[in-house]
Structure 1
Amino acid sequence: MSMNADGQGLAGVSDASPADVVGVYDGWVSTYDTDVLSWGYEVPGRLASVIAAAGATNGDVLDAGCGTGLVGLALDAVGVASVIGADFSPESIDAARQRDVYRELHVIDLSQPLPFTSQRFLAVVCGGVFSYLADPEAVLREFLRIVRRGGPIVFTQRVNLWESRQMDAVLQRLADEGRCTVDVSPPRPYLPGHGEFDDGVHDVTLTTS
């Protein structure tokens, strides 16, 4: 799967192999911030506001799939004391390090078990990443493991992938098991200036039980 220099073809990257996705983001670092902000990317601020409203600021918060650090900047702006970043693109991690808002940064594949102790984090934020995660239930179970009771897990999932990734069933299972409560927003803008993302995303908040 390839993406043009103008960002066309980005939506289809969700079907690419993990190695191909890493290649896309490693090669996109130099213009990523300018591109997504020009397309009206507001996800970082929206998700950070949920963390602030939940009062999950005085401790470690994981920015899962941190990319170049736009979510980390938003978390820092709402007063999160300790932002920990993780991404599987080494070049993106290097860019995020330049922000000077992360206490730690890790190169991690979120589709694998996470190298963090249980209940380490006050919260997890994961913006614009679930498009690339073929098994969202496994990822969410890991997030639930590493977040303390009562903490929020805030993420987005594209509307046009919601059914194929069986998100309703996944979230219902987690709720039925008593692992969390679930709040799913109506469709909200994702990259409104990019023609491939007209359907937007759902913002999802799980609160651990």
Structure 2
Amino acid sequence: MPGWMDLAYTTAGGVVGAAVTNHLSRTQERRELRAAVMQQLLRVEAVRDEVYGIAPSRREGPARQPAGVRAPVAARFGAVAVLEDGRDAERAQREAVAELVAAALSAGVPRRVLDFAGGGAEHALRCEVLRAVDARLGGVLGAPLDELAVACEEYRQTTAQLLLGALWQPWRTRPRLRGRLRALRRDAAALHRMQEALESVLTGPQHLDALAERLRGSRSDQGAPRTDDGPGPAA
């Protein structure tokens, strides 16, 4: 009888120990996945913060984009948005968002939440590009650009907070998710209309000609060699 009791205790102890080990392992894994998402989210935000300006595009025509990828907004002005280290800002953002999506999906964040978070980052960067173009033209947009900047930042923060809620407190986020996504969809449509309106002003013939002249001047002043693609010196 004592032998059976010892065996029962040993077996029960082994089962409990395995369960505890499994729980601790999963907890550690979730922490690591969430940490990876936070790191990638900071990287996405850093792209916008590091926008240095615009540079003349070295392509003779518009660059071909992969299917489903929106053409860079700077390309509409014959320019490239560049970061402080000289990289293409819009390309860097696409790469950062792709890595954020991969990390967040692994952590269990719903894809539709990530779509809005990526859209928030995209709207914010597009606003920075418009700000850089407007600055090169001497500030022709005025108050509407400031209003757009405020709206873009509010939308970016809202989408980022939704992502964080889905990451850290999914049980609280899930019940209201559908309604919040509907509201974000309306906000995104309004932002798109605001951005299109300002872009239509900046892409007017007189502004495009003036911008092209200033970009050519900055290129010749710095003696940049012309190549097939990539940005020239930042303007």
* TM-score class normalised by the smaller sequence: under 0.3
Point out which structure has higher relative CO (alpha carbons under 8 A, 6+ apart): 2
Normalised by the length of structure 1, the TM-score is 0.25
Q: Which has the higher strand share?
A: 1
Q: Which has the higher helix share?
A: 2
